[in-house]
Amino acid sequence: MISLTPQIMATSLVTVLRFLLMIIGALALVEAVVYTLFHRRPKNVLFGVVVLALTALFLFVFVRYVRPATGFTTTRKVGIGIALLLVDLAAYWLLSGPRISKLGLAYLLLTPALIGITGLIIYPFAYNVYLAFTNMSMTTVRTYTFSLQNGLNNFKSVFTGVVAHDATFWEVLLRSILWTAINVFFHVTGGMALALLLNRPMRFRGLYRTLLVFPWAIPQTIACMALRNEFNYHYGFFNVLLRNLGLKPINWLTDPFWAFVAVCISNIWLGIPFMMVIILGGLQSISQEYYEAAEIDGASGWQQFRHITLPLLRPVTTPAIILGTVWTFNALNVIYLVTGGNPQEKTDILVSSLYKAAFDFYRYGFAAAFALVVFAFLFLFSLIYIRMTGGLKAAYE
């Protein structure tokens, strides 16, 4: 076991600081390039040709001589590349003059976000698409091949073979749809009920709101591990309660049906506060004039809810339901930490089967194709739901 010493802590801190400085320096360099491109221009055509020639020369030198050089370390190659870029920028500044750019500042501010999105979303997604057309696995990680046939084989295996150990895609898909429908239904109805209650005038309303948000505020890992213990057969809260009521305890984590009920209860408890907060915000944005006019016309409470509250909440509830559906469909944490997909993969959903295919059975190409299938299902659902509900339209359209 490695002990944590001041020397190790100091070394780790220096490493982290160096990494942060490298990121800041890289962003500053990119911002300098963007600023130069949009706020400077060559003084004449000849100067522009010179700048292009210098850029091409520096790029040729780096690609032809610096990058393949065996006598240089990676750090030295990067340093030479940065030096060449700085020289090129300095030459551009000497041969150019200022210009007014309406979009220059906007691009300058958007560049860091674009770099982050590219590194964290676009590149991983593109690599996943590439991986889906390979036969990469634990045994072929160094000798895998990329081809259309590999991709077709991977997608065929997703729909016709087993996705983890024994479960098939269609079996897990039906369970995932059932899991998502049950959870989202109770998230929306429970969140709506609590939001309606908290929107009424009452004493200690702020305290109630704070307490009800706790399940959402607690880190999900801690909450799921605690809930797993609450479903223990011998000392779990639910079985202790059943015994005190004179009822027979339930094998929550070993019986397939009750294990599925257990993960549903866990995720419902974790998800209701989020929906409550969203709907409560929507309720507070509805003007009371609508309800006053409805009362004058003799509308009942149910009629006011149906014809005023629900339509005016649609722009709020539609994106919330879409987010809730996507999050629930991809709720790996709850499945993995409460039951682990057991018993006999009867509580696995698509993402937990995908996790097992990638990290338990090391079928990387298959798992990448599987991930694209899951993405396609969620993307199509979002498009169809938005089109059918019209939830992204303004409330008064």
Q: What is the pLDDT along the chain (397 residues), one digit of tens a residue?
A: 456 678 888 888 889 999 899 989 989 999 999 998 888 888 889 998 998 999 999 999 999 888 888 888 888 888 999 999 999 999 999 999 888 888 888 888 899 999 989 999 999 999 999 999 999 999 898 899 999 999 999 999 999 989 888 889 999 999 999 999 999 999 999 999 999 998 888 887 778 878 888 888 888 889 999 999 999 999 999 999 999 999 999 999 999 999 999 999 999 999 999 999 999 999 999 998 999 999 998 889 899 999 999 999 988 898 899 899 999 999 999 999 999 988 888 999 999 999 999 999 999 999 999 999 999 999 998 888 888 876 566 544 5
Phi-psi region of 343 (alpha: psi -120 to 50; beta: other; left: phi over 0): beta
User: What CATH number belongs to 150-389?
Assistant: 1.10.3720.10
CB 108 within 8 A of CB 38: yes
Instruction: Check the CA dihedral 182-188-191-196 and report its sign.
Output: negative
Other beta carbons within 10 Å of 193? 13
CB 29 within 8 A of CB 85: yes
Domains of the chain, residue spans: 6-101, 150-389
Report in angstroms the alpha-carbon separations of 290 from 287, 304, 308, 312: 6, 9, 7, 10
Position 212 scores a pLDDT of: 83
Q: By C-alpha distance, which of 220, 222, 228, 176 is closest to 338?
A: 228
